Chain A
């Protein structure tokens, strides 16, 4: 539906014909009719659904969400028991979805950039290995990648009693990865505060260096002083407060390892599969983005006497990012949506938990509506963020 105003704006004089022949009026009529038909359709669907639910004697409405769940969940970031409500169960599932999507996106991005740049490497082995990686993971359905990790790698690990002992008191077995859980004593806040202070000071130093470089052409060193601060400040705070941190180590119990923290094989395999799968696409996007920067740009930079590293950092990458970010957004959305494959291996994500509730409470339409709204919201928020990021990274035309 084109905006009729712009079509009519160039006209100086109204032709003496029927109103219906006026493109402006006609445009408005079309839009009103379309909107009315659309509203009528929604109204029909809405009332028809309610009527049919009533006739099939199926209770409807969202009131059931405050009922007692009655089931337990294997993986939860917040406290959850069978006495919690359905709504809280959905919230647990939502957080689990966000967890796997967020960690997956970060890992996939890092891995994707490394592989993508690797494919452009002049080193034959690195380039071929990267190509092989992309071609393998890009051409396998994500569900199979998940099964590969779950049944092919993690399930063949030894059982609990034969756990593989890893450094720092952690263990690996077919029930996941168990590691010592940090227990924060009183006074640990100072360590965190020191870390925060170090980071802020590093940023200030960077800004100062940049300003100086702009003014005099010469900056001050920032990398090593920053690292020194970020390491030293928390260590000093830790010593001052008398080591306010201890660990709860996993030990063998009757059935499982008890104590410590455990990351189940469901999360690990889903996280690895989504990261590896999506990374192959991101690698191609990165490669394409870098390739799309005209060769003349780096040649010009070279002619100006910029070193190789500076050419990449300040000339090629900023121009490549402009091309990389929009398709990268699609990949982030894909990864988030692919996380619903969790159901195949029993990771308690939103769809899996929702499915359980759907079945235990018998409210399919409500649950499906919640699923759609939540995934739509996550996707739209991701898009919004990436659009903002894109506009920040866009080239400033001078």
Chain B
């Protein structure tokens, strides 16, 4: 028995030491090891999923690449840690990953009690429901008595309980740890309803045996601002992750694209020149601890926000998700970035 306790405590100590190691400056750690360790979803089409060649691709994956491009000028210097909803937070807390770009909702609890920092929302999402068309359900309010498939350890699980309680509806939760298991259970008819972020529902619908037999209900029952997360207490790294997103937004605003970024360096617009580090005596990168051309590298690697969106989840992808709230603030959305000045 004593032996078991020692093993247990040693385990706890190791966990503690991991946290200690992570306390060192993340940027230096990343530069020293030569790559960014990025926590991503294990499999969510459009956001992070292995493609036909087995390489990770998707919206969140592009953020990982963009961060690597900003730090190293090379988008391939990134390694991915696929995580389940449950594994993601310990992975970041223990220092196993440097940044979590895993369609993760920013909540006060995660920002404070869990010891993380979130800032730029890279996707404004909301929770929805998907059902079989054959059930003839037109609204989530008709779902009383249904069996609902949901992934454990998510805000989804909590919103679901709150929504059904608030509307005085009964339901039977069918809970799994891995998204693949939830998909399989829903597809096999173990439950009537699948609930997760609406973007996820569109992605998952395409992976079902017969996508046309399923529909996403109109209700959005929650705010799900998805944001990359880093550990608290390392402002420098937090700044880099935040400004990579702001660079993508600013690039879209300026009309800087993957194709024209090199010519844009010679733009007569001083805002654009400053953004791309083409001004004389620029400290735009040095202040972040990066190369002055960091924004150029980011855009060369993945394009601007609009390009990242379209390629992975928008009009240029099988998902065809509308920009909606994620359009630029100048185009009716709420994606807005502080100026680069």
Contact = CB atoms under 8 A, between A and B. Distances in A.
Interface in B189-208: 189-192
Interface stretch (A2-10, A50-58, A97-105, A319-327): A50-58
B127 to A, nearest CB: 14
B146 interface: yes
A174 B185 CA distance: 10
Interface in B4-31: 4, 6, 8-13, 15-17, 19-20, 22-23
Contacts of B259: none
Interface residues of A, number: 56
A382 to B, nearest CB: 14
A231 interface: no
A355 B15 CA distance: 17
A42 B161 contact: no
Contacts of A346: 152, 174-177, 181, 185
A336 B266 CA distance: 70
A253 interface: yes
Interface string A327-365: 000000000000000011110100010011011111011
Contacts of B9: 42, 45-46
Contacts of A254: 142, 144-146
Interface in A140-194: 151, 155, 159-160, 174-175
Give the interface centre of A72, A82, A358, A369 by most chain B CB atoms within 10 Å. A72
B153 A58 contact: no
Nearest to A359: B153
B157 to A, nearest CB: 5
Give the interface centre of B4, B6, B9 by most chain A CB atoms within 10 Å. B9
A165 B104 CA distance: 44
A71 B174 CA distance: 12
A142 to B, nearest CB: 17
Contacts of A224: none
| Chain A interface, DSSP helix/strand/loop, else mixed | helix
B190 A265 contact: yes
B110 interface: yes
Contact of B161 (A52, A70, A364): A70
B5 to A, nearest CB: 8
A81 B169 CA distance: 13
A82 B153 contact: no
A356 B153 contact: yes
Contacts of A364: 15, 90, 93
B235 to A, nearest CB: 13
B285 interface: no
Contact of A55 (B8, B20, B185): B20
Interface string B133-158: 00100000011111100001100011
Contact of A74 (B15, B172, B177): B172
Nearest to A343: B177
Contact of B157 (A49, A71, A365, A369): A71
A204 interface: no
A82 B157 CA distance: 10
A121 interface: no
B1 interface: yes
A362 B113 contact: yes
Contacts of B165: 81-83
A70 to B, nearest CB: 5
Contacts of B89: 359, 362
B190 A155 contact: yes
Nearest to A49: B16
Contact of B153 (A55, A360, A369): A360
Contacts of B144: 254
B114 interface: yes
A53 B157 contact: no
B8 A369 contact: yes
Contact of A53 (B16, B90, B142, B164): B16
Interface string B165-184: 10000011111110001001
Contact of B189 (A57, A159, A361, A372): A159
A368 interface: yes
Given A174-B188, A258-B145, A362 B16 contact: no
A56 B22 contact: yes
Interface string A44-79: 111011011101111100000000001111100000
Contacts of A48: 13, 16-17, 20
Contacts of A59: 113
A82 B171 CA distance: 12
B13 A45 contact: yes
Nearest to A254: B145
Contacts of B85: 359
B222 interface: no
Contacts of A255: 135, 143, 145-147, 192
A359 B8 contact: no
Given A59-B113, A376-B1, A355 B12 contact: no
Contacts of B1: 376, 380
Interface in B223-237: 231-233
A246 interface: no
B262 interface: no
A72 B153 contact: no
A348 B114 CA distance: 24
A364 B19 CA distance: 13
Contacts of A361: 109, 113
B162 interface: yes
Contacts of B318: none
Nearest to A375: B4
A138 B162 CA distance: 45
B4 A372 contact: yes
Given A70-B161, A175-B191, A255-B145, 18 more contacts: A42-B6, A45-B10, A46-B9, A48-B17, A49-B15, A52-B20, A53-B16, A56-B19, A57-B115, A59-B113, A71-B173, A174-B190, A254-B145, A255-B192, A256-B146, A343-B177, A356-B153, A364-B90
8 contacts: A56-B233, A58-B113, A72-B171, A151-B188, A256-B172, A355-B86, A359-B85, A361-B109
The 5 closest A-B pairs by CB, nearest first: A359-B153, A82-B161, A52-B16, A57-B115, A362-B114
Interface of B: 1, 4, 6, 8-13, 15-17, 19-20, 22-23, 85-86, 89-90, 93, 109-110, 113-115, 135, 142-147, 152-153, 157-158, 160-162, 164-165, 171-177, 181, 184-185, 188-192, 231-233
Interface of A: 38, 41-42, 44-46, 48-49, 51-53, 55-59, 70-74, 81-83, 151, 155, 159-160, 174-175, 253-256, 258, 265, 343-346, 348, 352, 355-356, 358-362, 364-365, 368-369, 372, 376, 380
